[in-house]
Structure 1
Amino acid sequence: MNTILNKSFESLIVIRFRYMWLGDFALLCAEFMELLILSWYVLNQTNSPMILGVYAALRFTGTLFSPFFGVIVDRLGKRNIYIFSRICFVILSTIVMVLYITNTISVTYVLIISPFVGLSRSLDMIVRQSVIPSIVGNRLLQNSIALLRTSRDITQIVGPIMGGVLLELLGASFSYLVIVCLYVLALVFVLMIRDIPNDFSKSKESLILNFKQGISYALLHPFLVGILVIAFMVNLTGFPLNNGLMPVIAKDIMKTDAVGLGWMLGMYSAGALCGSLVMGYFSNMKWVGILMVLGALLWHVGIFFIGFVSTLLVAIPLLYLIGIFQSFAMVTMAMLLMSYTSKEMLGRILGLRQLSVYGLPLGLLFSGSIADNFDVTWALYLNGVIGFVILVIAVVIWPSTFKSDLSYQKN
């Protein structure tokens, strides 16, 4: 048992990575609390799944600029950008807290602030991923990726449940005070990480040219293109379930409150945590491409079948399984991107990877429109079928993605 635990959490022996993991934990816990509180607010104020979809989509508009963020990270110093992104989270959450305290909060203000949150998230995610190799080294790279995913999965359990309970018991103002404190803590942990690379690139090439270089690099490696297409697909049809549709399912189908919603999101994330821990233990396995594809396929099968469920007793275990399949797909995807991309191009490729996240706001708008005009179950059916079909087509066009493993690392 000790051997299994030591292998699963091996990267935590690196002190700098430990601070990084704790900082991510605080940041993501705040983020998921915030998502639940504001999603519930928007849905109750408007009673419109479509407007809820717009809110969720606006939170991801930063992905449009992610390729350029990748170039900026490569050129302007990772430590500076890392600290800057965390400061932005503190400022934006403080603004919302003040709006709640002064009783001037409105759906309009929430929609205005959301794109700036999205910009901060995209920038933070790119710089965070780009510093991992320099913090843990190649040997612990796959294990560290899986562990960072576990921090997200744990906070997806803790954040929504904590947010729902605090919202019901103490109100939004106190809940947002907790969120601000967590964002400050996330900033402090980043400041504690020593020797984050902070080199300034002396390149005089334009951002557009650097962006094109990232695209050219990806095109030279067809399996990278396949991975990026699959990443876009799961954002388009997979992630709308827990990023936008879950409040509608909780309110309209399960007939539950914010606490019930918190438990639904929490169990979904418990499954994702289980999947990430399994991937952390088997971090050096071969043929991860097969697991990535199978995980994505089963993820969409689960989304399809959740549309037939109308009780929490059945929904919770199914959501747990969907979370496991999601982790299998996403952790292996990150492992492959990190392993096959050269260090000097990593920021640019991660920028392209973040651009694929723009499939999520498109998916949220599509799902919200279907739920608004028909029924949320139809959104689930369509997402399950469309995602499954696109994935099969992607594997046929880029079969090397399905066969990719970790036996080769491009440094």
Structure 2
Amino acid sequence: MRLRLPTNVPAFAVLQDRDFRAIWYVGGLHEISRRMELFVLSWFILQTTNSPFQLGLVMVFNNVPRLLFSLFFGMVTDRFSRRRILAVAQSINTIVAVVIFWLIVNDSLASWHVFSAAFMQGLSRSLDDPARRTAMLDIVGEGRIVNALSLDQISNTVGKMSGPILAGVLLATYDFAGAYVLVMTVHLATLGMLFRVRIPSFQRVASQTEPAWRSIAAGLKHAAKNRLLLGMLFITIIMNAMAFPLQQFIPAIGRDNLQVGVVLIGLLGAAEGVGQLIGAGVMSTTRNIMHHGRIFVIGSSTVLLMALLFVWSPWYALSFLLLTASGVGQSGFATMQSSITMLSAPREMRGQMVGLMSVCIGLGWFLGPLEIGGIAALFSTQWAISVNALVGLLLLLPAVIFTPLVRNPAGQPEPATAQD
């Protein structure tokens, strides 16, 4: 049945496209299961080891695959069926969830299993990210990509909010096995939804038939010459090393500093999602955004400032509000990050550029949790996050001053048009 929505609102015009709705639903379900799984695995590590360092290792293992494989997977995305790549990625998630559930039921789950599961989830995400985001651009076109990515941010945010809440409630009620039953169910539902996804095919250009190493080298050369893209990638590393690892330490801050239980910690983990939903909702209804870099930098600064304030908050309600404000900043960061990446690349290199972006994300997440976890073990989680937030704010300045990130538009999108 055809969905009828007013097309004078950009987000509604994008939602008229059945193919976009299908891949949008898949992304939302995937994020719910991913966030649930990470929360459950992180809570297991915190409860069994009581170690901030090992808690940080969960996200290190989750992001190492991005650092190692994303550039190659981005090239694969430019050469092969994006729908099949998405199916492979989701199959990995489903199999890993079944294995972890079996280990829980048999009382055999150990820390190394958790780290292995986090690694495999990161591997699947390294496949999923470039395939799904470039597929969205294939479906909606350049003129509506910001609105499409804002809607994608909304579905991701719903997952970010509901995943920790569901996990917290199920852990408090049924323990780990009960939580993983729902994780497996959502993974299977996501895999089933992929059969409804249709992605436009396109003709390969000559560069997509050349050797893989040459294609990757060409992508790196393109990125090195694009100063706006370099500024975005530099800030991406900074944010993923010094700002976003805070998310992994929310359970420790909630338990030790705010002294609340697992359900309220789950709600606290969803606070950023509330802010992201607000920010993404505003951007999804905005037309003709040109200076993507300005929103990107403002969002980055907001996240770092809120992190600095959050770790010293003595009250749960204030902590929730600060994380909500951080979420608004994150929505600007994430939406413009993907928009800048794809609008700054020719069609045949978009997968590679998203892959390169994921490499930078993986590099940041590899360095950040290790360093923050180490400082937290020696001093405190509060001081570790505070120092990183301050240094992160200072390191934004070189990208703002020495690259055209905040001065020049990212590409020239086609005019937005309504589509049936």
After TM superposition, is the score higher than 0.5? yes
- The answer for the alignment partner of 1:227 in structure 2 is 232
- The answer for the alignment partner of 1:88 in structure 2 is 92
Between 1:9-18 and 1:49-58, the stretch displaced more is 9-18
3-state SS in 2 of match to 1:60: helix
Alignment of 1:387-406 (within 5 A): 387-398=392-403, 400-405=404-409
- Residues 1:174 and 2:178 are matched in the alignment: yes
Is contact 1:79–1:196 with CA below 8 Å preserved after alignment? no
Q: Distance between the aligned counterparts of 1:10 and 1:180, measured in 2? A: 33
3-state SS in 1 of match to 2:142: coil
Q: Distance between the aligned counterparts of 1:21 and 1:144, measured in 2? A: 9
Specify which of 367, 371, 376 is matched with residue 371 of structure 1. 376
**Offset at 1:44?**
0.7
Listed as ranges, the gaps of 5+ residues in structure 2 are 416-420
Aligned residue identity for 1:55 = V
After TM superposition, which residue ranges in structure 1, 4 or more long, deviate above 4 angstroms? 2-5, 198-204
- The answer for the alignment partner of 1:24 in structure 2 is 27
Aligned residue identity for 2:30 = L
- Residues 1:15 and 2:29 are matched in the alignment: no
3-state SS in 2 of match to 1:403: coil
Aligned residue identity for 1:81 = I
**Offset at 1:54?**
1.0
1:396–1:188 Cα change, 3 Å? same
1:4–1:264 Cα change, 3 Å? farther
Number of residue pairs aligned between Structure 1 and Structure 2: 408
3-state SS in 2 of match to 1:140: helix
- Residues 1:214 and 2:219 are matched in the alignment: yes
- Residues 1:112 and 2:116 are matched in the alignment: yes
Q: Distance between the aligned counterparts of 2:115 and 2:124, measured in 1? A: 15
- Residues 1:360 and 2:365 are matched in the alignment: yes
3-state SS in 2 of match to 1:404: coil
Between 1:42-51 and 1:102-111, the stretch displaced more is 102-111
Cα deviations by residue, 1:294-336 (Å, 9 ceiling, x for unpaired): 1111211111111221220211111111111111122122222
Q: Distance between the aligned counterparts of 1:199 and 1:185, measured in 2? A: 32
RMSD: 2.0
**Offset at 1:153?**
0.8
Give % identity.
Answer: 26
Q: Distance between the aligned counterparts of 2:80 and 2:221, measured in 1? A: 22
Aligned residue identity for 1:322 = S
1:71–1:245 Cα change, 3 Å? same
- The answer for the alignment partner of 1:55 in structure 2 is 58
Aligned residue identity for 1:48 = S
3-state SS in 2 of match to 1:205: coil
TM-score, normalised to structure 1, is: 0.94
Is contact 1:341–1:410 with CA below 8 Å preserved after alignment? no
**Offset at 1:111?**
1.6
TM-score, normalised to structure 2, is: 0.92
Cα deviations by residue, 1:334-386 (Å, 9 ceiling, x for unpaired): 22222222111101111101001120121111111111111011112112111
- The answer for the alignment partner of 2:418 in structure 1 is none
Listed as ranges, the gaps of 5+ residues in structure 1 are none
**Offset at 1:137?**
2.2
**Offset at 1:88?**
0.8
Q: Distance between the aligned counterparts of 2:83 and 2:205, measured in 1? A: 13
Cα deviations by residue, 1:272-314 (Å, 9 ceiling, x for unpaired): 1111111111252232221211111121111111122122021
